[in-house]
Amino acid sequence: MRIQIKRIYDPPDAGDGWRVLVDRLWPRGVAKENAEIDEWAKEASPSPELRKWYSHDPEKWEEFSRLYEHELKTRSDHLIHLLEQCPESTLTLLFAAKDAAHSHAVVLRDVLQNIRRIKNPNQLEVK
């Protein structure tokens, strides 16, 4: 399975496979009936406290990534659900942030890829 990230504002593509919105808040300017998502996985997004602290500040990226990975470790059942329920060969994680390089979806994608490599999700490595 391939796991990719993409902004929700980018047009859907036939190669997107299973499209999952991974933001806690619904993206501005996107009508739910036009979003073309297969699932909204709010529980895979950063906690409100972490999201507000980070505020998409690239200076906080390394610390944010570490803290978010710790949060994800406590939600491994939700992450396994995403991997197990994906009926396609591609899982596309959708997010709204303008800065794709510093989006939580980057961290989430890496953690999901790590889970796929290990047999026991409780062994999830956290930096």
pLDDT tens per residue across span 19-52: 999 999 999 999 998 899 999 999 999 999 999 9
Query: Residue 7 in 3-state DSSP?
Result: strand
The whole-number pLDDT of residue 120 equals: 52
103 near 8, Cβ under 8 Å? no
Query: Averaged over 47-75, what is the pLDDT?
Result: 96
Model confidence, pTM = 0.89
Which of 14, 1, 9, 32 shows the shortest CA–CA distance to 94? 9
With tokens 């507000």, the residue in question is 52
